[in-house]
């Protein structure tokens, strides 16, 4: 069992009307691994991430969380059954997601944001959730902001709260969808610092990012997507230092200028 | 002659003399208002849920509800509900049915204003950023939970100013219920008028009373809702 990947994506396709955004992506992410997904805008990075937790329903292909297909159930006789929205929601508990736009709930305090899902979805007691919530806020160094409303925080602080909110579900995998892209440059550091801390602690992470230095330094593996396909995949030193694919080379060269 | 009439109009002593019976009538305005608010909020919310529903038949139902009742004049609706609707129901169930005037008033105004409120609710629900809903889904929250914990608390705050306007209009509309003999203030004004034959000061007194109440309550409501909203959207 221990070599079952945390996340496995098999021949994933996603089509929006005429536009095929993902054209057969396959990859796996092992437990404790940090995988960066890079690529030009429109290459399908965010769509891939959103298909993994079924915020977008894949057109075809499979997403497996610890070996279990998310979208359908495979019966003993080999037939398959599509899972209900409720069952898919259960898989999402295992996947913490951090969005580009933070998406904190403005009518709840910082602590309220963090404990909401643990109480309502996981069924934790308020007391246990408060304890967990404070621990998560501590981890992103915002314990002192617990009772503020999100509108009173800076963008970097809001994103750290969003990370704490995802952590509070104690997910098996954390998904980051361009977590620093909406931030002013001087605020990205604090968020990347938190993400680096999570990676060091052995959190399984899939990180869609434009922060090439971060991707190179922190991740165990990097994936370069181009036009909905994995164009290059490997150790960061290789992908960033000596890419085999000409397109990946061009993409990286453009970023350096 | 003219100036005497005018002087008479602003001589509110008569209004003051009958204040007890007139204020008792005003209480009926409030009863009708409170019950109609209940009806219109419940129906309006259901219609709004229909309007934003992914299922097309439900969207249609919501739209039909809104268009029917929002475009029905209060007065026509009142009369229709009081006189025609009971006949239709009687016909359908084969048993004579009548509505008490108070009940007709609540149904009629509740229906009309549920049309307006449905649109107010819908605007509030649709104003909640999609990202907030996605974040909730990503946490494993289901549809009803998201509606209750994430969408409604924000939607209600956003729609408050508009809902206040709807409620003010609804309160104003309660002044026509005397037409089907609900004993509200206007009804009592006309009763006293028949006795005293001096309608002008009574109508002026009623106008001033309604104005002061609506003005004060609407102002307070606006103030309260603003403070509540400001806490979130600094």
Q: Give the minimum alpha-carbon distance from B146 to chain A in angstroms, rounded to a whole number.
A: 10
What homologous superfamily does CATH list for A1-93+218-257? P-loop containing nucleotide triphosphate hydrolases (3.40.50.300)
pLDDT band at A175 (very low <50, low <70, confident <90, very high): very high
CA distance A246 to chain B (A): 36
pLDDT at B76 exceeding the cut of 70: yes
List of chain B residues whose C-beta atoms are within 8 Å of the C-beta of residue A149: 231-232, 234
ipTM computed for the complex: 0.90
pLDDT of the residue at A2:
61
pLDDT given at position B145:
93
For chain B, the domain total comes to 1
Q: pLDDT confidence of B232, banded at 50, 70, 90?
A: low
Model-level pTM? 0.84
The answer, yes or no, to whether residue B27 has pLDDT greater than 70, is yes
CB contact under 8 A, A149 and B232: yes
Q: How confident is the model at residue B84 (pLDDT cuts 50, 70, 90)?
A: very high
Q: Note whether A105 contacts B150, CB cutoff 8 Å.
A: yes
Q: Give the confidence band of B202 by pLDDT, cuts at 50, 70, 90.
A: confident
Tell me what percent of the residues of chain B surpass a pLDDT of 90. Answer: 48
Chain B residues near residue A116 by CB distance under 8 angstroms: 139, 149
Interchain CB distance below 8 Å, B140 and A117 = yes
Banded model confidence at residue B231, pLDDT cuts 50, 70, 90: low
| Residue-level pLDDT at A42 | 83
Domains of chain A by residue range: 1-93+218-257
pLDDT of A76:
82
- Print burial letters for A230-245: b (CB count within 10 Å at least 16), e (below 16): bbbbeebeebbeebee
| Average pLDDT of span B203-212 | 88
Model confidence at B149: pLDDT above 90: yes
Q: Provide the pLDDT for residue B233.
A: 61
Residue range B129-154: average pLDDT? Answer: 93
Contact flag B132-A116 (C-beta cutoff 8 Å)? no
* Residue of A86, A117, A152 lying closest to B139 (CB–CB): A117
Comparing alpha-carbon positions, the chain A residue that sits nearest to B234 is: A151
- Mean of all residue pLDDT scores within chain B: 88
CATH number at residue B120: 1.10.3720.10
How confident is the model over B87-132, as pLDDT tens digits? 999 999 988 989 999 999 999 999 999 999 999 999 999 999 999 9
- pLDDT of the residue at A257: 63
Q: What is the pLDDT of residues A75-128, one digit of tens each?
A: 888 888 888 888 898 899 999 999 999 999 999 999 999 999 999 999 999 999
Which structural domain range is residue B122 located in? 2-230
């Amino acid at each position: 069992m221990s070599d079952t990947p945390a996340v496995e994506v098999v021949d994933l396709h996603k089509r929006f009307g005429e536009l095929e955004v993902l054209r057969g992506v396959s990859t796996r992410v092992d437990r404790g691994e940090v995988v960066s997904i890079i690529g030009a805008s429109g290459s399908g990075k965010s769509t891939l991430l959103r298909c993994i937790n079924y915020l977008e329903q894949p057109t075809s292909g499979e997403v497996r969380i610890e070996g279990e297909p998310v979208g359908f159930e495979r019966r003993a006789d080999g037939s398959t059954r599509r899972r209900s929205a409720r069952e898919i929601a259960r898989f999402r508990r295992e996947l913490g997601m951090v969005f580009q736009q933070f998406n904190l709930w403005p009518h709840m305090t910082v602590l309220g944001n963090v404990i909401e899902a643990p109480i309502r979805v996981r069924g934790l007691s308020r007391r246990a959730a408060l304890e967990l919530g404070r621990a998560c806020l501590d981890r992103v160094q915002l314990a002192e902001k617990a009772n503020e409303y999100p509108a009173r925080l800076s963008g970097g602080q809001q994103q750290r709260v969003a990370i704490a909110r995802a952590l509070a579900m104690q997910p098996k995998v954390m998904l980051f969808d361009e977590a620093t892209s909406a931030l002013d440059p001087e605020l990205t550091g604090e968020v990347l610092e938190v993400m680096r801390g999570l990676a060091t602690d052995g959190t399984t992470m899939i990180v869609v990012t434009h922060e090439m230095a971060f991707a190179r330094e922190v991740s165990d593996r990097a994936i370069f997507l181009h036009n909905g396909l994995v164009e290059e995949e490997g150790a960061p030193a290789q992908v960033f230092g000596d890419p085999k694919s000409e397109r990946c080379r061009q993409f990286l060269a453009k970023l350096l200028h | 002659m003219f100036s005497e009439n005018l002087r008479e109009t602003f001589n509110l002593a008569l209004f003051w003399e009958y204040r007890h019976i007139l204020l008792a009538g005003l209480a009926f305005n409030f009863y009708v208002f409170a019950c109609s608010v209940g009806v219109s909020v419940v129906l309006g919310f259901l219609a709004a849920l229909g309007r934003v529903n992914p299922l097309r038949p439900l969207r249609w139902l919501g739209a039909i509800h809104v268009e029917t009742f929002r475009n029905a004049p209060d007065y026509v609706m009142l009369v229709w509900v009081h006189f025609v609707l009971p006949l239709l129901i009687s016909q359908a169930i084969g048993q004579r049915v009548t509505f008490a005037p108070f009940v007709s008033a609540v149904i009629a105004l509740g229906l009309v204003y549920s049309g307006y409120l449905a649109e107010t609710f819908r605007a509030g629900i649709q104003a909640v950023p999609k990202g907030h809903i996605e974040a909730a889904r990503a946490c494993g929250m289901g549809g009803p939970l998201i509606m209750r914990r994430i969408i409604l608390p924000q939607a209600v705050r956003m729609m408050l100013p508009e809902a206040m306007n709807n409620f003010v209009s609804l309160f104003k509309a309660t002044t026509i219920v005397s037409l089907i003999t609900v004993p509200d203030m206007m009804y009592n004004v006309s009763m006293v008028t028949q006795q005293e034959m001096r309608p002008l000061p009574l109508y002026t007194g009623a106008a001033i009373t309604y104005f002061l109440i609506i003005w004060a309550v609407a102002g307070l409501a606006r103030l309260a809702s603003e403070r509540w909203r400001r806490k979130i959207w600094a």
